Amino acid sequence: MPREKWNEIIAVNLSSYFDTMRLLLPPMAARGYGRVINIASVHGLVASVAKSPYVAAKHGVIGLTKVAALEYASSGNRESGGITVNAICPGWVETALIQPQVQARVEKFGGDHLAGIADLLSEKQPSGRMSSPLDIGELALSLCGNSAHNITGASIPIDGGWTAQ
């Protein structure tokens, strides 16, 4: 892999998180309230072959999430809700991004689109179900409420059992 490609993947998938949190966390601390929800990936928890820069970046997002959670944990109080910093780690999500992989399965093994999805999921996601963007959004919303004031530094998989294996 060319160094430029590595740098690009790290910039988009790790450095951008650092830059955003560096700007937003101090004002949150001044208010005593804030929620940071980083969208990492199942690849922040486990590795896959031939994805070294992406896996490294997503592991970095989880590390960055934990450090920021520790650094801002004492900001605010229960009434204000304090500051929490967490990561959501999706597995396969039903978006256009996975369609080339589904199509490759259909071309390689035959069958229709649904068979391609089933084959893709069978490799790593035991539930056999993809998450939807709505599933991820609802999880993020649940982390924004005051009842989540003590959930911080967590990396929450939404992966149909991928990381439970």
Asked if residue 138 has pLDDT above 90, the reply is yes
Which tokens hold the place of 52?
């070294």
What's the average model confidence in pLDDT over 19-45? 98
Residues 70/153, Cβ–Cβ less than 8 Å: yes
User: Mean pLDDT score of the chain, rounded to an integer?
Assistant: 96
Q: What is the rounded distance in angstroms from the CA atom of residue 136 to the CA atom of residue 41?
A: 11
Candidates 56, 53, 45, 69; CA nearest to 2 is 53
Cite the DSSP H helix spans in 37-132: 52-72, 99-109, 113-124
- Tell me which of 17, 33, 54, 72 is the catalytic residue: 54
What's the average model confidence in pLDDT over 90-108? 95
Does 54 participate in catalysis according to the annotation? yes
Q: What is the rounded distance in angstroms from the CA atom of residue 161 to the CA atom of residue 27?
A: 37
Residue 77 is predicted with a pLDDT of: 87
Domain 3-91+132-159 sits in CATH at: 3.40.50.720
Residue 118 is predicted with a pLDDT of: 94
What's the average model confidence in pLDDT over 8-16? 98
Residues 46/163, Cβ–Cβ less than 8 Å: yes
Residue 80 is predicted with a pLDDT of: 87
List the chain domain ranges.
Answer: 3-91+132-159, 92-130
- Note the pLDDT tens digit of each residue in 40-66: 999 999 999 999 999 999 999 999 999
Asked if residue 79 has pLDDT above 90, the reply is no
Residue 99 is predicted with a pLDDT of: 95
Q: What is the pTM of this model?
A: 0.94
* Backbone phi, psi, residue 7, to 5°: -60, -40
Residue 65 is predicted with a pLDDT of: 99
